[in-house]
Amino acid sequence: MKKRIAILGSTGSIGTQALEVIEQNPDHFSVEVLTANNNIDLLIQQARKFKPNAVVIANECRYHSLQEALQNEDIKVYAGKDALDQIVAMDSIDMVLTAMVGYSGLLPTLNAIRAGKHIALANKETLVVAGEIVNREAIQNKVNIYPVDSEHSAIFQCLAGEHMNEIEKIYLTASGGPFRGFSLEQLQHVTTADALKHPNWDMGAKITIDSASMMNKGFEVIEAKWLFDLKPEQIDVVIHPQSIVHSLVQFRDGSMKAQMGLPDMKLPIQYAMNFPKRLPSDFERFNFMDYPTLSFEQPDTKIFRNLALAFEALDQAGNMPCILNAANEIVVQAFLREKIRFVEMPDIIEESMQKMTFIKNPDLNDYIQTDKETRLLTTSIIKKRS
C-alpha cells in the first residue's frame, strides 16, 4: 500500500524536494496533507498537482483566497495555527514530514506524535527546544522518528545493523559555509547577501544564515543528542568543505563508518519516508575522480561563537536550548532585515542566555513561556543597540 504523507511546510526547500520524491515514486507514496505558512501561490499549485485530502495555510488572512482558488477541487481547506496543530491527527495520515522552519514546528510535531504518526523530522528545532518531551512522547505512543537532516540521516544509516554495538563518538560534518577561514575582522564587513550564498546547499534564507553563522551545526549537535541518546562529549564537529562525507560514527573498537554522497537532500528525504527499504533513484551519482581530495578541519569556535554557545546550552540543558533557539530566530530576522551586523548575532544571543531565567526541569508550558519571553528580551536588546 502507498504510504500517505502529510508535509508540514510543503512550500519550503525540504517540502518541495519531498514532493519531487513523491512524484518520482507514485507507487510508494501519496500526498495526504499539505501546509504552508504564507506562500499561497505555490501551495495552490501543489494542491492542484498532487490532489491532497486537505491543505492548511497558517496565515488566516489567506484563507478565502486559498478556498476560492481550490473551490473546484475535492480538497478540504483550513487556516490558522490551531488547524495546523489538529490536521496531523487525521486517521488517513501514515507519516508526517515536519519541514517547517523554527520553533513553529514543535506543537504540530508533538500533536502528530500523540496521534501515533511516524515522523520524518526535518525541523531540528523540535528536538533543540524540547527534546526530552518529544522523545518521551514518541516512546509512549510507539512512534518512530526518522531524521531527514543529511548529517543525522548519515548517522542513522551508519547505525543500521549496529544496534548491539555502542557508539563511542559521532562526528557531524559541516561545510564551513560561505565564511570558512574568515577572520573576525573580515566578518565585520560581511553583508546579508554574502551570508545567503552557501557554497554547497540550496536552502531557505533562515537555515542558510544559520549555516553561515554555524548555529545550524550547533542545533544539529543538540538534535543528535536526542536522536541517538548521546552525551555532549560523544558529539564532535568537523569542517568538511566538499560536503561529500555527511557524517561519521566511531564505535568502541575504534572502527568508523561514514555515509557519503553528493549534497542532495532528496536522498535522506526518500530514505526517511521509506525506511527500512531503499528505493531506486535517478539521483546523480558520486564520482571519486571528481573529488580527488577530501579535506577536514577543526571549526574555529572563537570566530564562529554560535557553535560554542550551542554546546554551552547543551551542557546546561533545561530550558537553555529553548532560549538559544528563540534568541537566534530573532537575531536572524534582524540580520536579514539589516538591522544588525553578522558579528553582533552571537553577542545578542549570549546576552539573552545570560539574562533569561534558567529552568532546570521545564515542562511544555515552561518551554512555551520561555520562547515568548526570550523573543521579547532579544528584541529589546536589539532595539537598544540600534
Task: Please state the three-class secondary structure of 132-156 as a single string.
Answer: HHHHHHHHHCCCCEEECCHHHHHHH
Q: Extract the runs of DSSP E, i.e. beta strands, from 252-323.
A: 256-260
Alpha helix positions (H), 51-169 = 63-69, 81-87, 106-114, 125-140, 150-158
Using the predicted structure, report yes or no on whether residue 121 has a pLDDT greater than 80.
yes
- pLDDT for 1 equals 85
- What SS3 state is found at 280? coil
22 by Cβ neighbours in 10 Å (0-12 / 13-18 / 19+) ranks as buried
Section 335-362 average pLDDT: 97
Model confidence at 199: pLDDT above 80: no
Cell 537532516 sits on residue: 149
Residue-level pLDDT at 201: 61
Strand intervals (E) in 141-244: 145-147, 167-174, 235-239
Pairing status of strand 235-239 against strand 145-147: unpaired
d(CA 51, CA 54): 8
Q: Note the pTM of the prediction, 2 decimals.
A: 0.94
Is residue 178 pLDDT above 70, yes or no? yes
